[in-house]
Amino acid sequence: MRNVNQILAGKAGKLVTVPKEAPVLEVIRLMAEHHIGSVLVMQGTELIGIATERDYARKVILQGRSSAETPVAQIMSSPVVTVTPTDTAQTCMAMMTQRRIRHLPVMDEGRVVGLVSIGDLVKAVIEDQQHEIAQLQQYIAS
């Protein structure tokens, strides 16, 4: 089973963050531009929240707020559930299932080093299973 550090090593792209004052409209534009479902909300180098598409739907659209005038700090999820680089994909999936979340920031020694999504974890598990099946087939054939 892969750990978070191994999953992050296989990901391309940079971490997308915004300050707490950023308007929600800007956050949604960033998500669309980068084809992602969440953005980390930072105060300097400190992680203070996470804004997701779900937060937008429930806390802006359904409540009739203005995307252009609402700061992301008013809709972000906080405190943030995080993992470490040594946590396994299985541990992360269990956390996501239990807490009904889809994104986990990765913290190492107090700083954000990445983000894993449910899609990243499912991909890693499938690849691990395919590798194991191939090894078993090779063993049986030899």
- Quote the CA–CA distance of 43 and 19 in Å, as a whole number: 6
pTM: 0.88
Residue 13 clears pLDDT 80, i.e. is over it:
no
Spell out the domain ranges in the chain. Answer: 4-141
pLDDT of residue 26: 97
Q: Could you read off the pLDDT of 96-133 as tens digits, one per residue?
A: 999 999 999 999 999 999 999 999 999 999 998 898 89
| End-to-end CA separation in angstroms for the chain | 25
- Which fold does the domain 4-141 belong to in CATH? CBS-domain (3.10.580)
Q: Are 19 and 46 in contact (CB under 8 A)?
A: no
